[in-house]
Structure 1
Amino acid sequence: MRQALAVSLLALLLGGCASDPAKNDVGGIWINQVAIDAASKGGPLREALQAYGPNLEWELNTKAGQARYTNGFETIEGKIIGDGSNTTKVEFYGSAATELKRNGKQLLQVANDNEPEQVFATPKDPAPEGAPLGANFERALYSAYLGGKWKIVSGPGLGNEVQFQANGAVQGLPGADRYALCLAGDCASMSGGNDSIWLQLNGQGNSWIFVRKDQQLEIFQAVNTALADEVPSLTPGSQQWLLEKQ
């Protein structure tokens, strides 16, 4: 009996030791859920992304030693360094290593001289297999920020019910069947401090300026104030739509 108990205890101890690496494994897809939660409160999108970013999604393949992340306009690739501790280091060409730590269901990107501390989580509704890096973040953001039912209370299609889908499709908004929120990069630079959204129909579209205030969404025409040989500079023009969350 004592021998059986000893064997059982030994197996339990060995099993516990074997499971420890899995608790620290950072492999998989991780999205900046903190930024998404901040945006979902109904305020300016770029403010939330700047406050809790700049990185939006990590893809970590610990078996292959490969790491990638996106900040919304570019993809950065690095190499995972296994140092046998609870911290995973990722080396990037020409810059200092980034440290990552797993804390239960969260991934912590340790603050360094270049970037602040950032917290990531696994996506609850993953993008289809083969989707580009950043698709999981966009899918979660679109659902949290513009998900649900909206009603047009001013503008073309007055009274229509509008639904912004997590996959970038939009229904009920006249002249549009797809949309994309501007997260960073050229579209953000061109719109200054304003939030912008791309609306298109049958593959053809334009940028629009929008303002989100709690349960209301205003969409304005984007007026380019730059000269023909200058980089576009978009400012809000006349209001096209006012939508209210139902």
Structure 2
Amino acid sequence: MRDSYGISPDEKHYARMIDLLCRCGEFTEAKDLIESMPFEPGAPIWEALLAGCKTHGNLGLGIQAAERLLELVPQHDGTYVLLSNLYANAGYWDDVAKVRKLMRDRGVRKEPGCSWIDVENMVHFFLVDDTKHPEVQAAYKYLEQLGLEMRKLGYVPDTNYALHDMESEHKEYAISTHSEKLAVAFGLMKLPPGHTIRVFKNLRICGDCHNAFKFTSRVVGREIIVRDGKRFHHFRDGECSCGDYW
């Protein structure tokens, strides 16, 4: 960048590089890069590190990154969510409760996940565990039947994304009610055969939903496009255009 283009890397460039390293689990190299930066690391750096720690279950380093983030941006809900998820994946439910209490005490609210789809020029919205949409019960039944076909192909629900201390069967139900699954199911029910399903979500798609949609695209033989809070995911024939870089 410096030699060829005369550009000095700023914090955004470092954050992208640290994100890449952490996604690969290269935490030693990521830490070395942070320490070599010509300026003090800000929130984007620590958030990239925390996200990578959550993905790979690096609890110790993740807590350090979260502590720095809470000092820099104490009102950012994403930090609390990532830290809570990190504890939940490790089975530290008491710590999960402490993080959620800290959010309440500080008046920080998590943005609720919401997904929507346009069917016949009408936008239909779904929330997690939705009960308000007039046809949501039909969507739940459709997902049950679809799940049976997906399991025949090897799909196994990833209950690590059920971030509450509950029995295994309850965890499976919890992740089956995610808003993006309901929106996709509604689209499959309502749109003509062969029609591409296009769903939007305000937050990042969860890992189980991402995996489930790969299996769904194989079962129904249709293309599914999900635009989440980070990027487009184009599911077709059991694969995603992001190469699982979600």
User: Greater Rg, structure 1 or structure 2?
Assistant: 1
Larger relative contact order (C-alpha < 8 A, sep ≥ 6)?
A: 1
Relative to total residues, which structure has the larger helix share, 1 or 2? Answer: 2
TM-score by length of 1: 0.20
